[in-house]
A and B are shown apart, each in its own frame.
Chain A
Amino acid sequence: MSKILYASEVTTDIHRLDSAWEDPETFAFIPDKTGEVHGMIEAALAELPPPYRTGHFALLTSGSTGRPKLVFGSRDRSSSLARVLHAHQQSEEVNETVVVLPLTYCYSFVNQFLWARQHDRPLVLTKGLTRPDELKSALTAAKDSMICLVGAQVPLLSEYYDGSVFPGVIRVHFAGGRFPSERLEDLRRLFPNALIFNNYGCAEAMPRLTLRPADAAEETSHVGWPLPGIEIDSSPEGELLFRSPYGAVGQADDNGFRVIGPADWVATGDLGRQLDDGHVELLARSSEVFKRHGEKISIPVVLSSVSLAWRGPVSTYREVDGSGEDGYVLVISPHPGDGDVRKILLTLRNKHARSHWPLRIESIDELPFLPNGKIDVQELGEQVDLKQHWRQRI
């Protein structure tokens, strides 16, 4: 039976993760609290086909469907990816990496833990933005350091560290969601010496598919060029597909283990396409595009407009309106001042037809976050302290 390594074991002793990596036996590295999926994880590991019992590792992901699953990576493949990332993210001059996201998150695991191992660089563990003071100390002490962030953290960084400068951070990576291009100036103020990269991928890609320097494009939909060896295609429905020599070799959920073969095209869960110059254009998560009153609604496109009028964190949750039409609720944070919601509404009116407007605008003191720094959309609609500011009356 393969073993399970929990995040808290590693937080207190990073050598536990090193040991697990060096031990041939396949292991799963997962958050401490996995709730009802823990049984699935144990069963998947217990029933792992023999070829996967050594030389592999598994991470837990919510996946594009929101149904948690284990993705299985090959240690050889992921080590290769860490080397490729080193070259393409211009990391030779990086001397250490400060960990802001949980290492159980594939992005952080490969881009930081494996990268640090491969290139013999120190890994500086922090508790991220759950301990802003400690993180500030780590960033202040950083010397030629690399950090990995998700876009939703930027408003918090701006708020917590307003006026601070971290010149020792020379690489800032983004992945795991829309690149916060509207916050680029804030990032440059915080990290004046950093090259900033937008990385794109998914857990099934383990995790990287494309990357681009932030300056390479203004549009957030431009997620860069595929890394060497990665093939990109689109399904007839517009879903972005990939084949990668670094990608997951299998996945397991309640339905058991499924091999991902080298010839298999894998869906990223996003809608997108590769353009003539090779760069990938991302249109939206499959789950973030839906039809309302016959019109195709893209939540990321609407959020991009909202960001012109509201600089704080925003998110949405899906809801069906009284007439059975799909819709969504816009949630802003923190609670707005006089005129803020009106400004958002006027921006929505100027840029989008009524079908694209949210069913309601609500606010919350703080958005609920998952351990990986992403907004917990599943929990968002359940929050008791949501305050309503506006609603459509249809």
Chain B
Amino acid sequence: MNNHQKLKDLLLDVFLIGESEYSLEISQEDIETWDSMGLVAMAVGIEETFGHHLTQEEALSIRKFQDIVDILSTKGMSFDD
């Protein structure tokens, strides 16, 4: 499974969004379940799935799913596939 798919699975699980709603451009305002607990769950999920512990600054800077891709890409993870 490539990193894109892993991230998608994680975010569907954390925010309980449907496949058809998912897009990297989806933002915090679009997702009702992106609350403080959702943010914590997302951070835990990213650490479990990608082995990267988000700093507080990174976590708070995420406004849309593409931001996660950008952060993880700077850690050497490829989302080119």
Contact = CB atoms under 8 A, between A and B. Distances in A.
Interface of A: 293, 342, 345-346, 348-349, 354-355, 357, 390, 392-394
Contact of A348 (B16, B17, B19, B48): B16
A393 B16 contact: no
Contacts of B7: none
B13 interface: yes
Interface in B30-49: 32-33, 35, 37-38, 40-42, 44-45, 48
B1 to A, nearest CB: 17
Contacts of B17: 349
Contacts of B16: 345-346, 348-349, 357
B13 A354 contact: no
B16 to A, nearest CB: 4
B35 to A, nearest CB: 6
Interface in B11-25: 12-19
A354 B37 contact: yes
Give the residue among A346, A349, A390, A393 with the most B Cβ atoms within 10 A: A393
Contact of B35 (A346, A354, A390): A354
Given A390-B13, A394-B44, A354 B18 contact: no
Interface of B: 12-19, 32-33, 35, 37-38, 40-42, 44-45, 48
Given A346-B18, A393-B14, 8 more contacts: A342-B12, A345-B13, A348-B16, A349-B15, A349-B32, A393-B44, A394-B41, A394-B44
A21 to B, nearest CB: 55
18 contacts: A293-B37, A346-B16, A346-B18, A348-B16, A349-B16, A349-B32, A349-B33, A354-B33, A354-B35, A354-B37, A354-B38, A355-B37, A392-B41, A393-B40, A393-B44, A393-B48, A394-B41, A394-B44
Contacts of B18: 342, 346
A360 to B, nearest CB: 11
A71 B9 CA distance: 52
Q: Is the interface of B mostly helix, strand, loop or mixed?
A: helix
Contact of A393 (B12, B32, B33, B45): B45
Query: Most chain-A Cβ atoms within 10 A of its Cβ — which of B15, B37, B42, B45?
Result: B37
B15 to A, nearest CB: 8
A358 to B, nearest CB: 12
Contacts of A348: 16
Contact of B40 (A342, A390, A394): A394
B18 to A, nearest CB: 6
A293 B37 CA distance: 10
Most buried by A among B13, B17, B41, B42: B13
Contacts of A349: 15-17, 32-33
A390 B15 CA distance: 12
Nearest to A345: B16
A355 B35 CA distance: 11
A346 B19 CA distance: 11
Contacts of A357: 16
A270 B13 CA distance: 34
Nearest to A344: B16
Contacts of B41: 392-394
A394 B14 CA distance: 10
Contacts of A293: 37
A354 B37 CA distance: 8
B36 to A, nearest CB: 9
Nearest to A357: B16
A392 B13 CA distance: 8
A390 B12 CA distance: 11
Nearest to A391: B13
B9 to A, nearest CB: 11
A181 B31 CA distance: 32
Contacts of B33: 349, 354
Nearest to B19: A342
9 closest A-B pairs by beta carbon, nearest first, are: A349-B16, A393-B44, A393-B41, A345-B16, A393-B45, A394-B41, A354-B37, A394-B40, A346-B18
